[in-house]
Structure 1
Amino acid sequence: MSGPLKGIRVLDLSRILAGPWTTQLLADFGADVIKVERPGTGDDTRGWGPPFLEGNDGAQNPESAYFLAANRGKRSLTVDISTPQGRDIVQSLARSADVVVENYKTGDMARYGLDYATLSAINPRIIYCSITGFGQTGPYRNRPGYDFVIQAMGGLMSITGNPSGEDGGGPMKCGVPVADLMTGMYSTTAILAALNERNGSGMGQYIDMSLLDVQIAWLANQASNYLVSGATPRALGNAHPNLAPYQTFPASDGDIIIAVGNDRQFQALCAALDAQDLAADPDLQKNSGRIENRHRLVAALQRLTRRRTKDWLLETLTAAGVPVGPVNSIPEALRDEHVRSRGMLISLPHTNGVDVPLIGNPVKFSRSRIEYRRAPPRLGEHTGQILTQELGWTDDEIRQAGATGIV
């Protein structure tokens, strides 16, 4: 079986992460993604290193690991959209495209004649997804938006990290750019929904995606806690605002995670640790009581877990049905036999002569398949192919356009 988006064509006018993450997912699902990049420099993240992928051909501008993470499965076309000829190329490709994804500043695409109004007049079936920091409306619409800024403005950093006053306390960003990544996920689902709607209406539509909107949306239980109680959520380190015990615990040789999600699991934890006093404590029978007595409970459990090794705790608590896990480094996580058995590590041959190690797509279809058709492309790798096959250009026309910097 082919990918479920076979036959769908995507024009990717985005760079950095949120947009490319969206289009990489669409490519994994079988869409033909044409990544439109600036001649000479391309996507900004091509230079976001080290580390860089060193090939066997001595290339002067190798791809950064950052770029490789978000751009597999795409064809790279270099076009200077600031020129009339460049805009004509993109408009011509838009005639047969199903989806456009762009993350230019608000208003930029209109200046280039590549906005939704212009392209939908050419192709009424086109689905056009704009990704910006703050959206197309509102008082902040003209501000540039980067993930770090959005994590701060959207409240995430106020609930991440250790509590203020403790070692390492204060606002803390996540270890990966989660606002970008989640915007990519929301954008992908929005595009898929619009494609499904088009099956009935025959019409495309415009999608306005904002990193700040997404960050607010996935505050999830923390925002709901505030809306219901009026109490401001605070950073709790590795503890959970609504569950206890649900955090890191020290073993004699490192740390583990214990994540008790219900009263039955708490009783199983107490039995496994031979903590009859905690199991019988009337103040700890229900989760609400454990939250109220969190500090006393955690201190008692820490005294017990420190007496045991990580391996003993992981084996014993797993056997007891208590959710538990090791605190792995990234190398340890990627070496995990279960992760490898699920096909989460892949490699694809690059034109520089080496295989690119990559993280796989987590989706497992029963009939359709994920398509790993090509490694992240070199800048302009497919320019000639696309102009020839899609637009009917001759070799002489391509050489002339290249000489003048249009492609």
Structure 2
Amino acid sequence: MLLNGMKIVSFCHFLQGPAATQYLSDMGAEVVKIEPPQGAYERHWAGADRAKAGGVSAFFLSANRDARSLAIDLKHPKAKEVVYRLIRQSHAVVENFRPGTLDRLGFGYAAVKSEKPDIIYASASGFGTTGPYASRPGQDLLIQAMSGLIAGTGGRRGPTAVGCAAADQHGAALLALGIVGAYAKFLKTGEGTHVEANLLAAGVDLQSESLVTYYASNRGRAALDRDERLATWFHEAPYGVYQIADGHMVLSLNPPDKLAEALDSAALRAFIGRNAYDGRDAYIAAVAEVLAPLTYAEIAAKLEAHRLWFARVEDFDDLRRNPQLLHNETFRDVDVNGVTVTLVNHPLRYDGKLPGFTGFALQPGAHSRSVLEEAGFAAEEVAALLDEGAVFAPTADMPGGGTRAAE
């Protein structure tokens, strides 16, 4: 794979950091996850009332594949020696604690750089390492609110949150992008880089088109007030979501004359030549009335004949039957302690192939012994670290991290 040979020490928890390192491990990087003896936060919490598969948190399973786990008490006197030996043998350190946390533990950027001058040190935070908000907690919903994303979503029904951790996931992708860019620099020059990412920047970056359009249009806040069926504040009608006889569908950018012809509607022909943005509320209401009594199959037959843009609104159950997603191998079923769980695969292909999958560290410290032995610790040193409570591990390493692809 692309990043075979790259070694990463990860001080990451929650979603942004783990998801970023998962993108990198998918591409072949070796990721060692440093976590406390009781395990990282995402092992103990998940949505949907702490959903689990095989006793393992769904949150953990969403963003930690192929990461090896070293469970260690970072406050133990021998922790620095252990971790720094790993860092000196690695290309990158990735962390997403609040600014200053790792500095207090002795693993901040300045300390790590002094030990390994060519290190790639990637820091992800809520708002950045400096500034008036630096010490605030950064969490996806807070970022959606503070980045304008909630204000710009929902239309007349009022500010509406996006139904997923959009800022976290985009922040993870940006963090991974920065690390890969720094690694390319390292391979060319031998120099390290301090990569800094934050969720607020990610939340704003998600809306680049919307924000640039907003400031250029000079329409002000009134532009956000619109029929709730309109998908965005800046698109003209009929760009939106519609209830139909057997569910919901969306219409994308479609010329009013072609749409009126396709649906053979006198009501819609009345809007031909009008401003589809300034008159967006009236136009979308008229389109909604025409579509409401029709089934998706009836509408699709009419619109496909005129090569218009539309789609059915599919729910999560529909995705498992979607023929394109099946063709793309978007999902992967794996065995977790005897229970099959569905994962979302890496989103890219390389030379026509998806990245492989080796497993999860289903317990904190599942790889503590093997990670330390590979770093050069003798068997007696590993045993002493375990006995002294500096490092923690299950009774024996779990082969392959404890999971395998379902047959």
TM-score (norm 1): 0.88
Q: Name the CA distance, whole Å, in 2 between partners of 1:46 and 1:138.
A: 31
Q: 1:137 to 1:349 in 2, by over 3 A?
A: same
How many residues were matched structurally?
384
The structural deviation recorded for 1:276 is: 5.4
| Mapped contact 2:251–2:311 kept (Cα < 8 A) | yes
User: Which whole-Å CA distance do the structure 1 matches of 2:61 and 2:101 have between them?
Assistant: 27
Aligned partners of 1:179, 1:281: CA distance in 2, in Å?
Answer: 38
1:156 corresponds, among 138, 145, 149, to 149
Paired residues for 1:122-271 under 5 Å: 122-163=115-156, 169-230=157-218, 231-232=220-221, 234=224, 236=226, 237-239=228-230, 240=232, 241-260=234-253, 263=255, 266-271=256-261
Separation of aligned partners in 2, 1:112 and 1:14: 14
Match of 1:398 among 350, 371, 382: 382
1:339 aligns with 2:320: no
Q: Distance in 1 between matches of 2:173 and 2:198?
A: 12
Aligned-pair CA distance for 1:246:
0.5
CA contact (8 A) 1:14 1:20 kept: yes
What are the Cα deviations for residues 175-202 of structure 1, in whole angstroms up to 9, with x where unaligned? 1111111110111111111111222221
2:44 partner amino acid? G
- Deviation for aligned residue 1:221: 2.2
Residues 1:312 and 1:393: Cα distance change in structure 2 (over 3 Å): farther
Instruction: Kindly state the Cα deviation for residue 376 of structure 1 after the two structures are TM-superposed.
Output: 5.2
Q: 2:293 aligns with which of 307, 328, 343?
A: 307
- One of 45, 48, 51 as aligned partner of 2:45: 48
Kindly state the Cα deviation for residue 23 of structure 1 after the two structures are TM-superposed.
0.3
Structure 2: distance between partners of 1:315 and 1:393: 70
CA deviation map 1:260-296 (0-9, x unaligned)? 25x3xx4332221012563474533xxxx11111122
The 1-side partners of 2:365 and 2:101 are apart by: 23
SS in 2 for 1:100: strand
Amino acid at match of 1:308: L
The amino acid of 1:328's aligned partner reads E
Aligned residue in 2 for 1:87: 80
Q: Aligned-pair distance for 1:383?
A: 0.8
Q: Percent same amino acid among aligned pairs?
A: 29
Q: Distance in 2 between matches of 1:356 and 1:378?
A: 17
- Counterpart of 1:8 (choices 6, 9, 12) is 6
Match of 2:111 in 1: 118
SS at match of 2:333: strand
Cα deviation, 1:287-341, whole Å, max 9, x if unaligned, reads xx11111122122212211231122213432342211111111111232122111
Code of the residue aligned with 2:318 in structure 1: it is E
Matched, 1:76 2:69: yes
Query: 1:59-80: per-residue Cα shift (whole Å, max 9, x none)?
Result: xxx3211111111111111011
Q: Residues 302 and 330 (structure 1 numbering): CA distance in 2 closer, same or farther, change over 3 Å?
A: same
Counterpart of 2:168 in 1: which secondary structure? helix
**Does 1:274 find its partner at 2:258?**
no
Higher mean C-alpha displacement, 193-202 vs 235-244: 235-244
Shift of 1:373: 2.0
Which residue is equivalent to 1:59? none
- Look up the match of 1:388: 373
> Where do 5+ consecutive residues of structure 1 fail to align?
56-61, 164-168
Distance 1:211 1:334 in 2: 30
Superposition CA RMSD, Å:
2.0
Aligned residue type for 1:257: V
Which amino acid in structure 1 is aligned with residue 160 of structure 2?
M
The CA distance in 1 between the partners of 2:225 and 2:118, in whole Å, is: 46
2:395 matched residue in structure 1: none
**Distance in structure 2 (CA, Å) of the matches to 1:206 and 1:116:** 8
Provide the rounded CA distance (Å) in 1 between the counterparts of 2:267 and 2:166.
41
Change (3 A) 1:305 1:132: same
Contact 2:237–2:281 under 8 Å retained in 1? no
Query: So what's the TM-score if we normalise by structure 2?
Result: 0.88
Using the TM superposition, give the Cα deviation of residue 235 of structure 1 relative to its aligned residue in structure 2, in angstroms. 5.8
